[in-house]
Chains A and B, each alone.
Chain A
Protein backbone atom coordinates (compact mmCIF):
# COMPACT_ATOMS: atom_id res chain seq x y z
CA UNK A 1 0.00 0.00 0.00
CA UNK A 2 1.47 3.37 -0.96
CA UNK A 3 1.87 6.25 1.44
CA UNK A 4 -0.02 9.46 0.79
CA UNK A 5 0.32 13.02 1.98
CA UNK A 6 -1.69 13.87 5.09
CA UNK A 7 -2.08 10.32 6.38
CA UNK A 8 -1.11 9.20 9.86
CA UNK A 9 1.93 6.97 9.89
CA UNK A 10 3.58 4.85 12.52
CA UNK A 11 7.16 5.93 13.08
CA UNK A 12 9.42 3.52 14.92
CA UNK A 13 12.01 5.12 17.19
CA UNK A 14 14.01 2.69 19.27
CA UNK A 15 11.48 0.27 20.74
CA UNK A 16 8.67 2.84 20.62
CA UNK A 17 6.11 3.60 17.95
CA UNK A 18 4.99 7.17 17.47
CA UNK A 19 1.95 8.25 15.48
CA UNK A 20 2.88 11.15 13.20
CA UNK A 21 1.49 13.02 10.21
CA UNK A 22 3.05 12.46 6.80
CA UNK A 23 3.30 16.08 5.64
CA UNK A 24 4.80 15.52 2.19
CA UNK A 25 6.07 12.88 -0.16
CA UNK A 26 8.37 13.11 -3.19
CA UNK A 27 7.96 10.01 -5.34
CA UNK A 28 10.74 11.12 -7.69
CA UNK A 29 13.46 11.13 -5.02
CA UNK A 30 11.63 8.66 -2.78
CA UNK A 31 11.68 10.91 0.28
CA UNK A 32 8.99 11.62 2.84
CA UNK A 33 8.52 14.32 5.43
CA UNK A 34 6.83 13.51 8.71
CA UNK A 35 5.82 15.84 11.53
CA UNK A 36 6.65 14.62 15.02
CA UNK A 37 4.39 15.52 17.97
CA UNK A 38 7.20 17.94 18.91
CA UNK A 39 6.28 19.88 15.73
CA UNK A 40 9.62 19.02 14.15
CA UNK A 41 9.57 17.90 10.54
CA UNK A 42 11.79 14.94 9.83
CA UNK A 43 13.01 14.27 6.28
CA UNK A 44 13.28 10.54 5.70
CA UNK A 45 15.03 8.84 2.79
CA UNK A 46 14.39 5.37 1.41
CA UNK A 47 16.68 2.64 2.72
CA UNK A 48 16.49 -0.28 0.27
CA UNK A 49 18.18 -2.66 2.68
CA UNK A 50 15.66 -2.03 5.46
CA UNK A 51 12.81 -1.49 2.98
CA UNK A 52 11.79 1.51 5.03
CA UNK A 53 12.12 5.28 5.13
CA UNK A 54 14.76 6.21 7.70
CA UNK A 55 16.21 9.27 9.41
CA UNK A 56 18.09 10.03 12.58
CA UNK A 57 17.46 12.69 15.18
CA UNK A 58 19.52 13.31 18.29
CA UNK A 59 21.45 10.11 17.63
CA UNK A 60 18.27 8.06 17.45
CA UNK A 61 17.17 6.09 14.39
CA UNK A 62 13.61 6.56 13.19
CA UNK A 63 11.93 4.54 10.47
CA UNK A 64 8.64 4.26 8.61
CA UNK A 65 7.84 0.90 7.08
CA UNK A 66 5.31 1.30 4.22
CA UNK A 67 4.05 -2.21 4.91
CA UNK A 68 2.90 -1.11 8.40
CA UNK A 69 1.09 1.92 7.05
Chain B
Protein backbone atom coordinates (compact mmCIF):
# COMPACT_ATOMS: atom_id res chain seq x y z
CA UNK B 1 0.00 0.00 0.00
CA UNK B 2 1.26 3.47 -0.90
CA UNK B 3 0.96 5.80 2.07
CA UNK B 4 3.33 8.62 1.12
CA UNK B 5 1.74 12.03 0.76
CA UNK B 6 3.87 13.22 -2.17
CA UNK B 7 4.60 12.00 -5.69
CA UNK B 8 7.37 13.19 -8.00
CA UNK B 9 6.68 12.64 -11.69
CA UNK B 10 9.20 12.84 -14.51
CA UNK B 11 8.74 12.03 -18.18
CA UNK B 12 10.99 11.67 -21.21
CA UNK B 13 9.63 12.60 -24.62
CA UNK B 14 10.59 12.81 -28.30
CA UNK B 15 9.28 16.34 -28.78
CA UNK B 16 8.99 19.43 -26.63
CA UNK B 17 5.53 20.55 -27.73
CA UNK B 18 2.46 20.33 -25.49
CA UNK B 19 1.38 17.18 -27.35
CA UNK B 20 4.79 15.52 -27.24
CA UNK B 21 5.05 11.75 -27.58
CA UNK B 22 5.98 10.33 -24.15
CA UNK B 23 8.46 7.46 -24.14
CA UNK B 24 9.10 6.94 -20.44
CA UNK B 25 7.28 7.91 -17.28
CA UNK B 26 8.77 7.67 -13.82
CA UNK B 27 7.09 8.42 -10.53
CA UNK B 28 8.31 8.29 -6.95
CA UNK B 29 6.10 8.28 -3.88
CA UNK B 30 7.83 9.99 -0.99
CA UNK B 31 7.23 12.16 2.02
CA UNK B 32 8.46 15.69 1.36
CA UNK B 33 8.93 16.39 5.06
CA UNK B 34 10.45 13.07 6.07
CA UNK B 35 13.55 11.77 4.30
CA UNK B 36 13.79 8.74 6.61
CA UNK B 37 10.94 6.88 4.92
CA UNK B 38 11.83 4.69 1.92
CA UNK B 39 10.64 5.95 -1.45
CA UNK B 40 8.54 3.82 -3.77
CA UNK B 41 9.43 3.94 -7.47
CA UNK B 42 7.48 3.33 -10.65
CA UNK B 43 9.03 3.10 -14.13
CA UNK B 44 6.83 2.86 -17.22
CA UNK B 45 8.51 2.21 -20.57
CA UNK B 46 6.25 3.03 -23.48
CA UNK B 47 6.15 1.49 -26.94
CA UNK B 48 7.31 4.30 -29.23
CA UNK B 49 5.41 3.02 -32.26
CA UNK B 50 2.19 2.90 -30.19
CA UNK B 51 2.55 6.51 -29.10
CA UNK B 52 3.17 7.72 -32.63
CA UNK B 53 0.99 5.45 -34.76
CA UNK B 54 -2.01 4.91 -32.47
CA UNK B 55 -2.18 8.06 -30.37
CA UNK B 56 -0.69 10.44 -32.94
CA UNK B 57 1.38 12.40 -30.48
CA UNK B 58 4.10 14.76 -31.67
CA UNK B 59 7.59 13.82 -32.81
CA UNK B 60 10.23 16.47 -33.30
CA UNK B 61 13.34 15.73 -35.43
CA UNK B 62 15.33 18.15 -33.26
CA UNK B 63 14.51 16.14 -30.13
CA UNK B 64 15.30 12.86 -31.91
CA UNK B 65 18.67 14.34 -32.87
CA UNK B 66 19.16 15.49 -29.24
CA UNK B 67 18.53 11.93 -28.01
CA UNK B 68 21.14 10.69 -30.51
CA UNK B 69 23.69 12.82 -28.68
CA UNK B 70 22.86 11.57 -25.16
CA UNK B 71 24.74 8.82 -23.30
CA UNK B 72 24.31 5.18 -24.33
CA UNK B 73 22.80 4.51 -20.89
CA UNK B 74 20.18 7.22 -21.34
CA UNK B 75 19.36 6.01 -24.86
CA UNK B 76 19.04 2.43 -23.62
CA UNK B 77 16.62 3.42 -20.84
CA UNK B 78 14.61 5.61 -23.18
CA UNK B 79 14.28 3.34 -26.20
CA UNK B 80 15.63 -0.19 -25.77
CA UNK B 81 14.97 -1.34 -22.21
CA UNK B 82 11.84 -3.44 -21.90
CA UNK B 83 9.18 -4.54 -21.54
CA UNK B 84 7.39 -1.68 -23.31
CA UNK B 85 3.69 -1.07 -22.84
CA UNK B 86 1.10 1.01 -24.66
CA UNK B 87 0.55 4.62 -23.66
CA UNK B 88 -3.00 4.05 -22.38
CA UNK B 89 -1.83 1.22 -20.13
CA UNK B 90 1.06 3.31 -18.85
CA UNK B 91 -1.23 6.22 -18.00
CA UNK B 92 -3.62 3.87 -16.17
CA UNK B 93 -0.72 2.54 -14.11
CA UNK B 94 0.50 6.06 -13.36
CA UNK B 95 -3.01 7.06 -12.22
CA UNK B 96 -3.12 4.13 -9.82
CA UNK B 97 0.37 4.86 -8.50
CA UNK B 98 -0.16 8.57 -7.78
CA UNK B 99 -3.71 8.09 -6.48
CA UNK B 100 -4.11 9.51 -2.99
CA UNK B 101 -1.06 11.78 -3.19
CA UNK B 102 -1.76 15.20 -1.73
CA UNK B 103 0.97 16.90 -3.72
CA UNK B 104 2.42 16.09 -7.13
CA UNK B 105 5.84 17.49 -7.91
CA UNK B 106 7.55 18.12 -11.22
CA UNK B 107 10.68 19.87 -12.42
CA UNK B 108 8.99 22.89 -14.06
CA UNK B 109 5.25 23.43 -14.35
CA UNK B 110 5.07 23.94 -18.11
CA UNK B 111 6.45 20.59 -19.27
CA UNK B 112 5.52 17.31 -17.52
CA UNK B 113 2.01 18.23 -16.23
CA UNK B 114 0.95 19.85 -19.51
CA UNK B 115 2.19 16.96 -21.68
CA UNK B 116 0.68 14.37 -19.32
CA UNK B 117 -2.70 16.15 -19.25
CA UNK B 118 -2.73 16.18 -23.07
CA UNK B 119 -1.74 12.49 -23.19
CA UNK B 120 -4.59 11.57 -20.82
CA UNK B 121 -6.93 13.55 -23.07
CA UNK B 122 -5.57 11.79 -26.18
CA UNK B 123 -6.25 8.31 -24.76
CA UNK B 124 -9.64 9.33 -23.35
CA UNK B 125 -8.78 8.96 -19.66
CA UNK B 126 -9.29 11.60 -16.96
CA UNK B 127 -6.13 13.11 -15.47
CA UNK B 128 -5.67 11.60 -12.00
CA UNK B 129 -5.03 14.97 -10.36
CA UNK B 130 -6.37 18.47 -10.09
CA UNK B 131 -4.33 21.40 -11.33
CA UNK B 132 -3.87 22.64 -7.78
CA UNK B 133 -2.13 19.41 -6.70
CA UNK B 134 1.03 20.31 -8.63
CA UNK B 135 4.12 21.80 -7.00
CA UNK B 136 7.29 22.93 -8.77
CA UNK B 137 10.56 21.46 -7.51
CA UNK B 138 12.61 23.60 -9.92
CA UNK B 139 11.53 26.80 -8.20
CA UNK B 140 12.22 25.31 -4.78
CA UNK B 141 15.70 24.18 -5.87
CA UNK B 142 16.51 27.62 -7.28
CA UNK B 143 16.61 29.00 -3.73
CA UNK B 144 19.91 27.21 -3.12
CA UNK B 145 23.18 27.34 -5.02
CA UNK B 146 24.96 24.48 -3.25
CA UNK B 147 22.63 21.53 -3.71
CA UNK B 148 24.29 18.12 -4.20
CA UNK B 149 25.05 17.15 -7.79
CA UNK B 150 22.70 14.67 -9.41
CA UNK B 151 23.75 11.03 -9.26
CA UNK B 152 22.66 8.34 -11.74
CA UNK B 153 22.13 8.71 -15.47
CA UNK B 154 21.14 12.10 -16.86
CA UNK B 155 17.78 11.95 -18.64
CA UNK B 156 16.89 8.61 -17.12
CA UNK B 157 13.37 9.31 -15.85
CA UNK B 158 13.66 7.19 -12.68
CA UNK B 159 17.05 8.61 -11.71
CA UNK B 160 15.73 12.13 -12.35
CA UNK B 161 12.56 11.56 -10.31
CA UNK B 162 14.44 10.09 -7.33
CA UNK B 163 16.99 12.89 -7.32
CA UNK B 164 14.32 15.59 -7.63
CA UNK B 165 12.37 14.03 -4.73
CA UNK B 166 15.52 13.98 -2.60
CA UNK B 167 16.17 17.63 -3.45
CA UNK B 168 12.63 18.60 -2.43
CA UNK B 169 13.24 16.96 0.95
CA UNK B 170 16.65 18.65 1.25
CA UNK B 171 15.31 22.11 0.36
CA UNK B 172 12.33 21.90 2.71
CA UNK B 173 14.57 20.72 5.54
CA UNK B 174 16.97 23.63 4.98
CA UNK B 175 14.01 26.01 5.01
CA UNK B 176 12.82 24.44 8.28
CA UNK B 177 9.42 23.76 6.78
CA UNK B 178 7.30 21.75 9.19
CA UNK B 179 3.96 22.05 7.47
CA UNK B 180 3.07 21.78 3.81
CA UNK B 181 -0.32 22.30 2.21
Residues of A in contact with B (beta carbons under 8 Å apart): 13-20, 36-40, 57-58, 60, 62
Check A13 against B79 for contact (C-beta < 8 Å). Answer: no
Determine the distance from Cα of A62 to Cα of B59 in the docked complex, in whole angstroms. 12
Identify A16's interface contact among B65, B78, B79, B80, CB under 8 A.
Answer: B65
Q: How many A-B residue pairs have CB under 8 A?
A: 49
Main secondary structure of the interface of B (DSSP, over half): helix
Determine the distance from Cα of A19 to Cα of B69 in the docked complex, in whole angstroms. 9
Q: Given A37-B75, A58-B56, A16 and B62 touching (CB < 8 A)?
A: yes
Check B79 against A39 for contact (C-beta < 8 Å). Answer: yes
A39 to chain B, nearest CB (A): 4
Which of A19, A36, A38 has the most C-beta atoms of chain B within 10 angstroms of its own C-beta? A38
Flag whether B44 is at the interface (Cβ < 8 A). no
The 7 closest A-B pairs by CB, nearest first: A13-B61, A37-B68, A16-B61, A58-B59, A39-B79, A18-B65, A37-B67
Identify A18's interface contact among B56, B61, B78, CB under 8 A.
Answer: B61
Identify A37's interface contact among B49, B52, B64, CB under 8 A.
Answer: B64
